[in-house]
Structure 1
Amino acid sequence: MKQIKSSSHGVYRLSYHLMLVTKYRRKSINIAMLENLRGILTDLCEKWGCVLLEFSGEADHVHMLFDTPPTVEPVKFVNNLKTVSSRLSRRDHAEHLAQFYRKPVLWTASYAIFTTGGAPLEVIKQYIIGQRRPSE
């Protein structure tokens, strides 16, 4: 069973699957960059109070699975991940990325983020429908 976390006023388990794509879908990520990105994203997750559960990618995109507390706004977190990882990757791999981009870019403006969880939505809907309603 997935570990449920708690705060002073509630319990939660918020997991997200995030996909970031390189600008123009160029195959600019090599193995050294991928490993560097893992470290950058792990550090950023810790700074935001999140936990990186899984990370991998291909030459033109990366996937990450992470847990976050309810106090973290996903859009702000993702924008910070993209900004910092792009800046640090361009700093650490400038010569390599110059082959693909003239301007200081790495990620496209878009991203994909999905919530993850244990039970399918239909199972949760049936559970809620099946609750005993109070009698009059």
Structure 2
Amino acid sequence: MRMMKNSHQVYELGYHIIFCTKYRHKVLDGDVAVACRNSIAETCAAYGWGLEEIEVMPDHVHMFVTASPQTAPAEIARTVKSISAVRIFTQFPKLKGRKFWGSGLWSPSTYFGSVGHISEETVRRYIQTQKERT
């Protein structure tokens, strides 16, 4: 992860995001997995998010994404899940009827983890010793 900046901010923000297919159906394989990966990569590029790593498993997706402070991790997940579901169901219409009748592709649950180059302990120690530094 590299340091980014804009006119008023300097940041290094990365998120590990995991989301699953509804009912944990193992449908993300072969062409569906390729379509999922491509959709997520295109969405991240279109929104200006850095897709550092991605792994599409049969029933879930792992993403490592970097974004500006204005972008909430929940917004990233919501956008990626929404756009990828529409594209996958458009490319593979039988999938919707077979496993996901009347519902979306993704489970509403999502895991978010922050990724950084320094540990929690380092941040705590830095904050606790601020008065000693002045």
TM-score normalized by the length of structure 1:
0.88
SS in 2 for 1:102: coil
Q: How far does residue 97 in structure 1 lie from its aligned partner after superposition?
A: 4.5
Q: Say what the alpha-carbon RMSD is for the aligned residues.
A: 1.6
On the 8 A contact 2:28/2:36 being kept in 1, the answer is no
Q: Which contiguous aligned blocks of 4+ residues in structure 1 show a shift greater than 3 angstroms?
A: none
Greater share of residues in helix? 2
Q: How far does residue 36 in structure 1 lie from its aligned partner after superposition?
A: 1.2
On the 8 A contact 1:28/1:97 being kept in 2, the answer is no
Deviations 1:39-95 (A, max 9, x none): 111111112211100001211101110100112122222211111111111111222
SS in 1 for 2:98: coil
TM-score normalized by the length of structure 2:
0.89
> Which 5+ residue runs of structure 1 have no aligned equivalent?
none
For structure 1, which segment, 102-111 or 80-89, has the greater mean C-alpha deviation from structure 2 after superposition?
Answer: 102-111
Question: What is the CA–CA distance in structure 2 between the aligned matches of 1:107 and 1:6, rounded to whole Å?
Answer: 33
> Which 5+ residue runs of structure 2 have no aligned equivalent?
none
Question: What is the CA–CA distance in structure 2 between the aligned matches of 1:96 and 1:106, rounded to whole Å?
Answer: 9
On the 8 A contact 2:3/2:12 being kept in 1, the answer is yes
Identity percentage of aligned residues: 26
For structure 1, which segment, 95-104 or 77-86, has the greater mean C-alpha deviation from structure 2 after superposition?
Answer: 95-104
On the 8 A contact 1:5/1:13 being kept in 2, the answer is yes
